[in-house]
């Protein structure tokens, strides 16, 4: 019979002490402690070689495992995590294929375990399950719908607020810009939209929330000066329902990544902050794999607009 789990070490020590007295035979000790003779001889042999320390439980794990992840791959994973500290195992694993063969690259579970063993996985709060909300504007092709919004303001090191304007394609998730502004107003937004239209063409629709300068619940059809300018360019403005940011969830999800990369901590001034925003846009479009795109990047999936702009 096995040792009692709660007092294994104590019973082993007691067994050795009784054996050392010489008053009992091995058979009597085995019967008293309810163990087999091979187990008894093994304990005695260990004790004679190394003393009481040898009685501690030993790991049964093999010293080497034929399927163990190579040290060079582990170092590669840790190097990528250091460079992309907000990325998880799925995205980091995709980048491993650039340096290792498909047979060498471990599974997502193994990559996550390596990160966890090195203290690089932050425990996440368990979120309350809610009924999934699907986007009401779900385009089938690139440039059918673009999303735009001002990501929530945050203080820079000089105690001045930065208001990043973001514009992205809703199909490919390609991020055209993340432009830091001092204020959320028509002049600043129009100037950046003009630059983006001249560079990337124009979409059929632009999806925004109801905040200034994009929309207003107090006006007819929620249109603002910026909305009428879009219409003049041949673009239809569309809006999320009031108090329902989840209807533009993919854009809000991108904002979460932007905040983690650029605002925690923020830069000292707007010039330095813009360099961080530019770096995020480049990485987001060209390096970061996207689960909704079958682990491809937005740059791999995006087709640029051929619609000519009007009066841009």
Element (H, E) at 277: helix 270-286
Same fold, 71-118 and 145-301: no
Class of domain 71-118: mainly alpha
From first to last of the 312 residues of the chain, give the pLDDT tens digit: 455 455 677 888 888 888 888 888 888 888 888 889 898 888 888 888 887 777 777 666 666 666 788 899 999 999 999 999 889 999 999 999 999 999 899 999 999 999 998 888 877 666 565 455 455 678 999 999 999 999 889 999 999 999 999 999 999 999 999 999 999 999 999 999 999 999 999 999 999 999 899 998 888 788 999 999 999 999 999 998 888 888 888 999 999 999 999 998 999 999 999 999 999 999 999 999 999 899 999 999 999 877 765 555
CB of 224 within 8 A of CB of 213?
A: yes
CB of 22 within 8 A of CB of 44?
A: no
- For residue 66, CA distances in Å to 63, 69, 77, 212 come to 10, 9, 20, 60
CB of 217 within 8 A of CB of 248?
A: no
The whole-number pLDDT of residue 63 equals 62
Q: Rounded distance, CA 25 to CA 301, Å?
A: 79
N-terminal to C-terminal alpha carbon distance within the chain: 86
Q: Tell me the torsion sign for CA atoms 78, 83, 86, 88.
A: negative
User: Alpha helix locations (H) across 22-160?
Assistant: 26-33, 37-50, 71-83, 89-96, 108-117
145-301: CATH topology is Nucleotidyltransferase; domain 5 (3.30.420)
CB of 197 within 8 A of CB of 158?
A: no
The whole-number pLDDT of residue 311 equals 55
User: Could you tell me the pTM of the whole model?
Assistant: 0.71
Closest C-alpha to 115, from 90, 134, 89: 89
Angle between helix 89-96 and helix 71-83 axes, rounded to 10 deg: 120
Q: Rounded distance, CA 137 to CA 149, Å?
A: 15
The whole-number pLDDT of residue 207 equals 94
The whole-number pLDDT of residue 62 equals 66
The whole-number pLDDT of residue 73 equals 92
Delimit the domains of the chain by residue range. 8-55, 71-118, 145-301
């Amino acid at each position: 019979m096995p040792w009692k789990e709660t007092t294994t070490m104590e019973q082993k020590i007691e067994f050795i002490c009784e054996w050392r007295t010489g008053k009992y035979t091995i058979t009597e000790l085995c019967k008293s402690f309810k163990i087999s003779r091979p187990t008894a001889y093994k304990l005695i042999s260990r004790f004679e070689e190394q003393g009481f320390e040898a009685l501690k439980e030993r790991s049964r794990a093999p010293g080497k495992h034929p399927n163990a992840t190579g040290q060079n791959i582990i170092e590669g994973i840790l190097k990528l995590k250091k460079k992309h500290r907000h990325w998880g195992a799925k995205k980091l694993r995709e980048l491993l294929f650039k340096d290792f063969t498909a047979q060498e690259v471990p599974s997502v579970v193994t990559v996550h375990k390596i990160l966890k063993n090195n203290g690089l996985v932050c425990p996440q709060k368990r979120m309350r399950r809610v009924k999934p909300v699907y986007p009401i504007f779900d385009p089938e092709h690139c440039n059918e719908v673009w999303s735009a919004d001002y990501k929530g303001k945050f203080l820079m090191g000089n105690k001045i607020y930065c208001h990043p304007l973001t514009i992205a394609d809703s199909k490919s998730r390609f991020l055209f810009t993340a432009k830091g502004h001092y204020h959320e107003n028509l002049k600043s937004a129009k100037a950046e939209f003009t630059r983006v239209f001249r560079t990337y063409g124009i979409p059929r629709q632009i999806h925004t929330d109801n905040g200034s300068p994009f929309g207003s619940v107090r006006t007819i059809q929620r249109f603002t000066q910026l909305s009428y300018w879009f219409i003049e360019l041949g673009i239809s403005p569309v809006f999320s329902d009031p108090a329902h940011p989840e209807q533009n969830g993919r854009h809000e999800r991108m904002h979460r990544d932007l905040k983690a990369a650029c605002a925690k901590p923020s830069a000292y001034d707007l010039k330095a902050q813009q360099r961080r925003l530019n770096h995020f846009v480049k990485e987001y479009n060209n390096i970061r794999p996207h689960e909704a795109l079958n682990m491809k990047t937005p740059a791999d999936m995006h087709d640029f607009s051929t619609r000519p702009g009007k009066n841009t």
